[in-house]
Amino acid sequence: MSSDNPAVWQAGWAASMQRPSAGFDKNWAEEGFADQTVRQVVRVTGAGTSARITLSNRYGTAPLEVSGARIARTDKGPAVHGGTVRRITFGGADSVRIPAGGEVRSDAVEVRVAAFDALTVSLYFARPTGPATFHAQAFATSYRAAGEQLGDVDPAVFGATTVSWYYLAAVELAGGGAARRDTVVAFGDSITDGFASTVDGNARYPDALAERLAAAGTPRPVLNHGIGGNLLLHDSAWYGDRAGERFGRDVLEQPGVRSVVVLVGLNDIGFSEVDLPTYRPNPDLPAGRLIAGYQELIDRARAAGVRVTGATIMPFKGAEYHTPAAEAKRREVNAWIRTSGAFDAVADFAAVLADPDDADALAPGYDSGDRKHPNDAGYRAMAAAIDLAAL
């Protein structure tokens, strides 16, 4: 059901899909939707004159019926700019049925978009959806209203909110110029996902990286494929498929991908140090197992002609799973990332964000308060630490 439009499509925005769970904040993934409209706001890092969306039912157990969809330029909150609402169709039809485990790409929609514009995608579900494939830690507000509310309606009807995205996996753009292979994918766990960044502030490190590239005169799409809690080596019911399993679809299959920044492994190290239901599986693995996992990602990227920047695991002293054993693993992994030459380039986030008085801890000015996730300033420092030429 994908569009037959011969236009050249480029990356605009994307998010990694996860199984339904209640593992983050309040979300609607387990209950799903019935006779409700969900309005979601995303900021694109590309530009174009037309757009298309990808909807995912990857973790659905039954077909998903989407009864209607619209795209518009975002005004504020759930409000859209008057006159910008555009009908989204799927093979010419207003509605679409997505099989369990499947996804669908919409037809092209004429909408003029500049880099860093916000787009609003509204989806109406007339029939019960069942549990929803989603992205848990969006750090962007999504809105829900009763009934069909797809158009330029009173934003007050969207009385319920959450900070997750539902079913929306990608926005692609066309009309922005000739085909380019220049997309950057930021790949990893919650620190890539932007945990503890300002909600609706677009303050994650991949956001800051896209802004930095534009300011340098080399604007490029930057896609955030982080999943909070993600593991390099094991699948999690709460925190997504393991990095090694999802690397193909979330990195190598992205439109125009040229390079990837890999930041993952903290949870593989830390989860084994505490006993929490959400931190399972949590085997106690040696650093060598993580290094082998990184090498697998590097080999797959190289085979696809994608450059790989390896990011060091940042300090987490004072966090709930910091122990001498965990710290020893972090140091061993980071030494390999820095000195092995396995990666095309290294982003030494650990050195940049470390407390000058204690290299095992985050600098207070970069700490969100939980001793392992940066604040907005820390995310900007991460983006500044990346060698743009290496991308």
Is the CB of residue 169 less than 8 Å from the CB of residue 18?
no
- Residue range 223-228: mean pLDDT, rounded: 98
Record the pTM.
0.97
E strands, 142-256, are 142-146, 160-162, 165-166, 168-174, 183-188, 222-226
Distance of alpha carbon 297 from alpha carbon 291, whole angstroms: 10
pLDDT in tens, 77-133: 999 999 999 999 999 999 999 999 999 999 999 999 999 999 999 999 999 999 999
- The per-residue pLDDT for 1 is 36
pLDDT in tens, 243-261: 999 999 999 999 999 999 9
Q: Provide the residue ranges of all domains of the chain, joining segments of one domain with +.
A: 9-173, 180-390
Distance of alpha carbon 210 from alpha carbon 12, whole angstroms: 11
DSSP 8-state symbol, 318: T
Element (H, E) at 95: none
pLDDT in tens, 141-194: 999 999 999 999 999 999 999 999 999 999 999 998 777 899 999 999 999 999
Q: Which of the four pLDDT bands, split at 50, 70 and 90, describes residue 26? A: confident
Average pLDDT of the chain, as a whole number: 96
Is the CB of residue 31 less than 8 Å from the CB of residue 169?
no
- Residue range 30-41: mean pLDDT, rounded: 98
- The per-residue pLDDT for 3 is 41
- Residue range 34-45: mean pLDDT, rounded: 98
- The per-residue pLDDT for 6 is 64
CATH architecture for the domain at 180-390: 3-Layer(aba) Sandwich (3.40)
Pairing of strands 168-174, 9-14: antiparallel
**If phi over 0 gives left and psi between -120 and 50 gives alpha, with beta otherwise, what is residue 369?**
left
Whether the predicted pLDDT of 24 surpasses 90: no
- Residue range 341-366: mean pLDDT, rounded: 98
> Burial letters for 215-231: b for 16+ Cβ neighbours within 10 Å, e otherwise?
eeeebbbbbbbbbbbbb
- The per-residue pLDDT for 214 is 98
- The per-residue pLDDT for 2 is 40
